[in-house]
Structure 1
Amino acid sequence: MENMPFDYRILTYKTNLHNFAISFTKNLDDANDLVQDTYVKAIKYANLYNEGTNLKAWLYTILKNTYFNNYRRNTTRSKIFTVTEDYHSHQLLKSSTTNAGVETLINEDINKALSMLPEDYSIPFLRYFEGYKYQEIAEEFSIPIGTVKTRIHMARKILKSKLKMYAKKNTRSGISDAFAS
């Protein structure tokens, strides 16, 4: 098996990985996605695998870490959309009539400001905003973690200056929070 190309060797563990993924996800489709993500990462980081070590354990570790990272990211997203207050119809009527247009304009301004960022700043910032960790971003772009932090900081600073008209007025919409450092 050692003489087989790396891509083929990892495929020999598909059934084992799939069973392991099902134990985490409890869902066939999610398990399939998790195994696929594991293979993508294994191929991407094949240079980090030390020949002669336990390939199956290495793949299991990637699968487990991928699951927990995605779980953490999804949990964070679900927390953002959780409503903790009870709204009465008279409150919703008042806010919904004015917010639809205002929110559209705010989103257009945010998208315009994002498009004006240099690509070196915008891509790491968006990855961070999506829930990726500094280390994950650094690995994806093969740059030092300090560079990632600097680029995200600079993106925030530029966006803050371009969107300063929303800083005080719309703190409830989360705009000032998203760009706070």
Structure 2
Amino acid sequence: MTAIEFNHRIASLKDTLELFTRRFTKDQEESEDLIQDTVLKALTYRDKFKQNTNLKGWLYTIMRNTFINNYRKAQRARTTHDDTKELYYLNVADSHTFNSPDSSYEYKDIVNCMNDVKSDLLIPFKMHVDGYKYHEIADSLEIPIGTVKNRIFHARKEIQKKLVAYST
């Protein structure tokens, strides 16, 4: 199928595409935008269309996926508008906290517990905390990667035990 024939077939399905958009939106402008996006993607990816397949179904799939992607993008971008006087809701302190007083530790307490860990466990653990990858730690210390993972795991468990004992 030539590009001209393909374009003509898509243009002949414009009314059908309008009916498809009714499944997704009642707004006329959104409907027109969705049709335009669908046709643009269809023309852009014409080489992906296989001869002797259902063009209407292919266009519907493009339209549905475009609608879903646009919806998700809009949900991520949705922000809260505060129209109250003095921007009350934006200026109120957040009373919700993820840390409970029972499980919160000061940085110095964690460092004290870390310093009590054996050095063969502590060195790989500190390197991992500093952002080194397992293979980088293994190369630097000239030990197998499995040993690095094991030492980091045991260092973390030892620090957790000391922090629990520290809090009581």
TM-score, normalised via structure 1 length:
0.43
Which protein has the larger Cα radius of gyration, Structure 1 or Structure 2? 2
More helix by share: 1
Compute the TM-score of the two structures, normalised by the length of structure 2: 0.47
